[in-house]
Amino acid sequence: MKKNTFADLKEKERKAKREVIIDAAERVFGVKPFNKVNIRDIAAEAGISHATIYRYFPDQQTLFVEAFLRGVDEILARVDAVVKTQDGFHVLEAVAESFIGFLSGNDHYFRMMTHFMLDGNLAPALLERLNAAERSLLDKIEAIFVADGATENTRALAHAFFAALNGILISFRDYPGRDREAVLSHMQSLGRLIAKRFGQN
């Protein structure tokens, strides 16, 4: 039986408080653009003082990155799950569906991702953390192309596929005159079409 100490309990409490703050940050980033959010907004959402947040995160950028990396971890896990359960070109289709479905259902991650892609104005160490996470995703997509027999320009294929999926989300997620279910269905069908085309390479 593991022996718990007060130090262990304090560390668990610290981690729990960090998670509460990140949860609050996700909710705030989901309704406000990054450059319109301040620490006081997040503190109010978490039900704590803004000074408390600084005990756990040095600044808003670090908190943004921690929140966004949660979403990236979920996407990576979904890609891994697809690779384990699908085969051949169906893998690309399933990845497209999962990627679009996740970001459609988790608007705050989509907003954070587009902010990172369009602005990217972060401290170098934080920017590298996000770039490393993106490289991990591109590595997994590239491995799918390689497993499907692609031998040339596999990294470029991964980049193009990733960009195409993001293009679908940017172009159609707020499609006028359709409800969310219809919009998602349309984007999923476009994702499958793109995956089939990429699978022919």
Say whether both 98 and 144 belong to one domain. yes
* 3-state DSSP assignment of residue 120: coil
Q: For residue 146, which of 91, 85, 73 has the smallest C-alpha distance?
A: 91
Q: What is the CATH number of the domain that holds 130?
A: 1.10.357.10
- The single-letter code of the amino acid at 134 is E
pLDDT of amino acid 31: 83
Say whether both 172 and 77 belong to one domain. yes
Rounded to an integer, what distance in angstroms lies between the CA atom of residue 149 and that of residue 179? Answer: 39
pLDDT of amino acid 61: 87
Those residues whose C-beta lies under 8 Å from the C-beta of residue 179, and which sit 6 or more positions away, are: none
Say whether both 185 and 131 belong to one domain. yes
Say whether both 43 and 104 belong to one domain. no
pLDDT of amino acid 44: 94
Phi, psi of 132 (to 5 degrees): -65, -40
The boundaries of the domain holding residue 194 are 60-199
Say whether both 138 and 50 belong to one domain. no
Q: What is the pTM of this model?
A: 0.85
Say whether both 15 and 68 belong to one domain. no
Rounded to an integer, what distance in angstroms lies between the CA atom of residue 201 and that of residue 198? Answer: 6
pLDDT of amino acid 134: 92
Q: For residue 201, which of 160, 145, 138 has the smallest C-alpha distance?
A: 145
- The single-letter code of the amino acid at 45 is E
pLDDT of amino acid 146: 92
pLDDT of amino acid 88: 61
Contact between 71 and 109 under an 8 Å Cβ cutoff? The reply is yes
Say whether both 71 and 134 belong to one domain. yes
Say whether both 76 and 119 belong to one domain. yes
Say whether both 51 and 74 belong to one domain. no
Convert 47-60 into a string of H (helix), E (strand) and C (coil). Answer: CCCHHHHCCCCCCH
Say whether both 122 and 154 belong to one domain. yes
Say whether both 113 and 139 belong to one domain. yes
Domain count, the chain: 2
Q: What is the CATH number of the domain that holds 49?
A: 1.10.10.60
pLDDT of amino acid 46: 93
Buried b (16+ CB within 10 A) or exposed e, 140-156: bbbebbeebebeeebee
Say whether both 33 and 120 belong to one domain. no
Where the chain has pLDDT below 50, the residues are none
